[in-house]
């Protein structure tokens, strides 16, 4: 890492230098075509099954945002083929189940994701959303607080 990259890393939300990081940042800014291109680049750069699964999960999220459910499902299948125990892809599948109205299956997926990665902020948050749908507001508040703490800790670790 060069000096300028190191200095840029001090800026909150600084541009990522790796393809996956760039794709994630572009996805956060809803620049879907650019994000897809960055994830294609990231896919070409790795043979790590866990990273491949993470990339496919991001491709699934892009497909969801483009209202292309078949492409999202195909991308999730590819993620699970690369690495079946990928918490982020399990959370994304839970999100699709929750949106379809299957709260019980969504909860099962979020809980499974938390077994794999107890520090997955998105799993805590989305399980909280599911708890709200079940009418369990106190449980949801605890999950939202845990998600916020984990996300805050994660952001401090990036800077």
At 123, the pLDDT band (50, 70, 90 cuts) reads very high
Q: What are 18-73's pLDDT values in tens digits?
A: 999 999 999 999 999 999 999 999 999 999 999 999 999 999 999 999 999 999 99
CA 99, 54, 31: angle at the middle one, nearest 5? 70
Give the model's pLDDT for residue 127. 97
Count of domains observed in the chain:
2
Last residue of a domain, one of 26, 54, 84: 84
Question: Does the pLDDT of residue 77 top 80, yes or no?
Answer: yes
In a domain, 150, yes or no: yes
Range of the domain at 159: 102-159
Contact 102, 110 (CB under 8 A): no
Same domain membership, residue 29 and residue 79: yes
Confidence (pTM): 0.83
33 and 73 fall within a common domain: yes
Question: Do residues 67 and 111 share a domain?
Answer: no
In angstroms, rounded to a whole number, what is the distance separating the alpha carbons of residues 53 and 57?
6
CA distance 133 to 1: 46
Regarding whether 109 and 73 lie in a shared domain, the answer is no
């Amino acid at each position: 890492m060069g000096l300028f990259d190191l200095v840029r890393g001090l800026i909150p939300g600084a541009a990522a230098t790796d393809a996956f990081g760039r794709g994630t940042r572009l996805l956060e800014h809803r620049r879907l075509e650019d994000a897809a291109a960055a994830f294609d680049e990231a896919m070409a750069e790795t043979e790590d099954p866990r990273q491949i699964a993470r990339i496919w999960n991001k491709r699934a999220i892009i497909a969801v945002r483009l209202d292309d459910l078949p492409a999202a499902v195909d991308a999730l299948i590819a993620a699970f083929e690369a690495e079946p125990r990928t918490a982020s892809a399990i959370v994304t599948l839970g999100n699709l189940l929750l949106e379809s109205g299957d709260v019980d299956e969504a909860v099962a997926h979020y809980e499974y994701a938390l077994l794999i990665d107890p520090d997955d902020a998105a799993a805590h948050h989305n399980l909280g959303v599911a708890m709200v749908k079940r009418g369990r507001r106190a449980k949801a508040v605890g999950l939202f607080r845990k998600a916020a703490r984990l996300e805050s800790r994660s952001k401090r670790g990036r800077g």
